[in-house]
Structure 1
Amino acid sequence: MIHIRSADVFSCSINSRIERKVHRPGVRWVRRAVPALLLAVTAATVVAQPQQKIVDAIIADGMTDQTGYKFLEELCDDFGGRLVGSPQNQAAMERTVAELKALGIEARLEEFKMPGWERGDDRITMLAPVPRPIRAASISYTQPTPEFTADAVDLKLGRAEDYAGQDTQGKIGVVSAGSPVSTRESIKQAMAHGVKALLFIDRVNGGQLLARSGSFVGEPLALPVFTITAEEGLWMQRLLARDQRVTLTLVVRSKCIPVTTANIVARFPGRTPDTVILGGHFDGWDLGQAALDNGLGIAQILNTARLLQKHSPENLRTVELVWFNGEEAGLWGSRTQSERERDAPIVAMINLDMAGYPTGVNAMGYDELMPVLQRFNETLGELKLKDGVVSSPWRGSDHLPYMLTGVRAITIGGPIAPEAVRFYHDFGDTYDKVDPKLVAASSSAVAALVYTLANDSELKAKRVSDADTAALLVKAKLDTELRNAGIWPFGDAKAAATKPAREPKTTKP
């Protein structure tokens, strides 16, 4: 899940939407799923339609199989966080393709180039009042910076008024968690006031950092930007509030580099070219193993591939599975893939990013998808998703580039326990945080959803017009964040109304 800061386009408050409800896992799926489904399959055999039989079989099989969970262990323990462009990322992709082929599924790497970043030995050391190293991590696209020493200044929330009356020239700015100012604007203001570096305090305690991207256009940052722990950041602020001098030494050895990487793509050809896409990001942050964010999604898609291959390899529509690279750096893989498929007849794109135990499905503002999603929910019987179908668009992951090219998006609502999700983007996001039953439970529901969308006779491929897409994003109050990040493609939203919709090339069933 890509995250910069609260004001940035891809910053996703963990408590702000259905996908990130953080409470105890969905025990309904865990405790009742297998016996309920086995009973349902037995009882429904005589009367169920063929599609219902397949849904039942997919879920019953998925709930009792640990293929995805076991693969996730190898992925995390053998390759770590899979920072895009790293040797570990490349090796993990090759292992994933090999695993898919072992399951009888053809997959390939589709290469693309992007602005990359390589983490170096970056350090912050406090010299006064207490000499000690500070736990910190530079954000991506921070450039090499020779070692320098400077005093810190408390910039509070980093707003224009927080600079007023402060001596900031040549100092290191400390910015509170929850700043409403975007990273781009924060750097711009800091440069204008002579600040030499910025330290963003993390939003949770416990020594946590929050690795994040510094630029969605891949530009090197004009000054060093770090994330620091809540404990050390608040300590600095308390010292500064008492007019105590805080002196720090910084050195940055990370660097921006061009990267050639790839998305993993597997396709199940259908009886028509109309396509249902299931995707999730492959890369993660290197501070930990990126198990929940988004090794979980990698395993869920792999398990979905296994279930489709076994129970429904050919459908009415083509099914495309994509593991996107470069999401954490700025959605680079999904940007590339969505552009490559700009004229393809796509029915919908489902995105899996930290999706836990399934509780609901989100039509993302495309209300015309709600009937088919409700029909899907009905096929689950006793396992019907308790939150049902909602329609609430959000930004911050690989569905966004597809939405910007007129493709309708769907996401899964599912909780991850708060004691696990708090570690995302840091060293604590490790395999042991993943509930052993989570991959099976969630991917069973996802595979059933993909199957439903790939075979529902009433669903049609459609490209939403630029005007309607802009209106949807404006209504959801997402346009400002997209503009701040420099990736709003529609100019003035009103002017976009004159642009015609793009009709996909499609073949009728």
Structure 2
Amino acid sequence: MPELPESVVGDAQTSSFAWDLLTDLADVGNRMAGQAGERRGAERVVEAYEEAGLRNAGLDEFEIPGWWRGDSALSVSGPVEREYEGSHAVIALPGTPSGTVEAPVVDVGTGTYEEFEERSDELEGAIAMASSDTPESHDRWLHRMEKYSQAAEHGAVGFVFRNHIEGALPPTGEIGYHNRPGPIPAVGVSKEVGEQLARYAAAAEGTDGDDEATTVTLDVDCRNEETTSVNAVADVGPETDEAVFLTAHVDSHDIADGANDNGAGSALVAEVGRLLKSVEDDLETRVHLVTFGAEETGLWGAYHAAETTPHDEIKCVVNLDGACSSRNLRVGSNGFEAMTEVFESVTDAFDAPLETGDTISPHGDQWAFVQEGVPAVMTSTTSEQSGRGWGHTHADTLDKLDSRDLRDVATLVAEAVFRFASADVETPHRSREEIQEDIPEGYVQELKTGGRWPYDE
């Protein structure tokens, strides 16, 4: 049976508070890390905290490496002449430097390490192009940053990241992480543009040496400089030193509204805070709410919180990201089984489905805590779409989401956080050494490639 009173569950199922907040965040538009829209989004979350009657609501500021997108273009010359301009066709990837390069395109398929190695001799001085897809046979998802880094390491002078989802327009996403700016210009293109470029590249490979070669020119304009980001914070429950952290990230990419990634998560944090306010006297541990800034560009807000909070004061972390693609929860436990058990008890109580995974993963704000041995889970929802689906594209908009899904997720997460705040629920910490030993080899490779490996060798 649920532990929350029926009045709270009923409130969660009928209130428009979360959907109104999500709508406002989507209507901000550009919430790119370190830019004015991100701060407006964070300020709107603080307003929601205050409206819900939460205490200590405010902004916590910190420095980040900022990035501003300019106009980018891609043109093809040779037997076929084509020009691609405008954000519907080609966009720069955050962390790229500005620059113009002209070279033949080498299509490395899905951009696995093996595919890059197979075409190593052709990549020197070329523009490498890789799909956003990861082969089903692969044991983990490959991050675009790894594909970008592989391109640079094999001598490519530019990088094209092509979407594998038709009709979803160009994908964006960080390629520098903590190695900003990256060494070579990089852009994202739609599946349709990528297919055309792949066809031109294949035709060029089949021509004789006397035939006119096909070359591609990348022209990338952007700006890399230091700026500030903010975390939106508040508290509910007793004034205990120890706290359950409920988190999400408020920033999104500048090309879209960031509705599911991650306006929904930010709205859920405030909504769960509002619901718990009505049972504040029953909470046995303080609940600390944080919507992080600068997740999309390197988890900077999460790292800031993890580095400025004594770890023994964090009972556990429930991180929400992409949690409104359906009403069916997915929890990545990072090996913290006690947290999985709580979520299982919650979904059992509501007769709701739950998908779980226990692999330690560096994707998401929870990683800043997991790497230190602090119990932290990634909470999202299941989806029928491949990969990110609409995420990181122009199409991550409010019309893709359903307010009923948001209410159901809020109900389940509020019940889970209420249980985590109980003195009877234990969430044991682990040592940094234990975490390091259990990180899959592939993610070790990714973390080192992205400059985010936190352990001494």
TM-score by length of 1: 0.78
Q: Cα offset for 1:260?
A: 0.9
Equivalent of 2:225 in 232, 240, 257: 257
State the partner residue of 2:436: 470
Matched, 1:171 2:137: no
Matched, 1:104 2:74: no
Q: Are the structure 2 counterparts of residues 153 and 359 from structure 1 closer, same or farther at C-alpha, using a change threshold of 3 Å?
A: closer
SS in 1 for 2:70: coil
Report 1:25-424 matches (<5 A): 52=3, 54-77=4-27, 79-106=28-55, 107-128=57-78, 129-133=80-84, 135-145=89-99, 147-156=100-109, 157=111, 159-164=116-121, 166=122, 168=123, 170-178=125-133, 186=147, 190-191=151-152, 194-243=155-204, 245-270=213-238, 272-312=240-280, 315-356=283-324, 357-359=327-329, 361-378=331-348, 380=349, 383-387=350-354, 391-416=358-383, 418=385, 422-424=389-391
Q: Which runs of 5+ in 2 are unaligned?
A: 208-212
2:34 counterpart letter in structure 1: G
Distance (whole Å) between structure 2 residues aligned to residue 283 and residue 314 of structure 1: 32
2:73 counterpart letter in structure 1: R
Distance (whole Å) between structure 2 residues aligned to residue 287 and residue 104 of structure 1: 33
Q: Are the structure 2 counterparts of residues 446 and 185 from structure 1 closer, same or farther at C-alpha, using a change threshold of 3 Å?
A: closer
Q: Are the structure 2 counterparts of residues 305 and 205 from structure 1 closer, same or farther at C-alpha, using a change threshold of 3 Å?
A: same
The worse-fitting range, judged by mean Cα deviation, of 407-416 and 103-112 is 407-416
Q: Cα offset for 1:105?
A: 2.1
Q: Are the structure 2 counterparts of residues 73 and 185 from structure 1 closer, same or farther at C-alpha, using a change threshold of 3 Å?
A: closer
Distance (whole Å) between structure 2 residues aligned to residue 406 and residue 214 of structure 1: 26
Q: Are the structure 2 counterparts of residues 212 and 395 from structure 1 closer, same or farther at C-alpha, using a change threshold of 3 Å?
A: same
SS in 2 for 1:63: helix
Q: Cα offset for 1:392?
A: 4.3
Q: Cα offset for 1:486?
A: 2.5
Distance (whole Å) between structure 2 residues aligned to residue 313 and residue 257 of structure 1: 46
Distance (whole Å) between structure 1 residues aligned to residue 62 and residue 387 of structure 2: 33
Q: Are the structure 2 counterparts of residues 132 and 186 from structure 1 closer, same or farther at C-alpha, using a change threshold of 3 Å?
A: same
Q: Which runs of 5+ in 1 are unaligned?
A: 1-47, 493-509
2:455 counterpart letter in structure 1: F
SS in 1 for 2:242: strand
The worse-fitting range, judged by mean Cα deviation, of 63-72 and 365-374 is 365-374
Q: Cα offset for 1:136?
A: 1.3
2:54 counterpart letter in structure 1: I
Number of matched residues? 433
Q: Deviations over 1:137-188 (max 9, x none)?
A: 111111121x454443334445122123x3x554323234447886666556
Distance (whole Å) between structure 2 residues aligned to residue 480 and residue 453 of structure 1: 33
SS in 1 for 2:403: coil
SS in 1 for 2:297: helix
Distance (whole Å) between structure 1 residues aligned to residue 218 and residue 164 of structure 2: 22
State the partner residue of 2:424: 458
SS in 2 for 1:273: coil
Distance (whole Å) between structure 2 residues aligned to residue 159 and residue 446 of structure 1: 42
Q: Deviations over 1:22-56 (max 9, x none)?
A: xxxxxxxxxxxxxxxxxxxxxxxxxx8xx83x343
Distance (whole Å) between structure 2 residues aligned to residue 281 and residue 96 of structure 1: 11
Equivalent of 1:448 in 415, 421, 424: 415
Q: 1:271–1:316: 8 Å Cα contact kept in structure 2?
A: no
Identity %: 24
What is the root-mean-square deviation in Å for CA atoms of aligned residues? 2.7
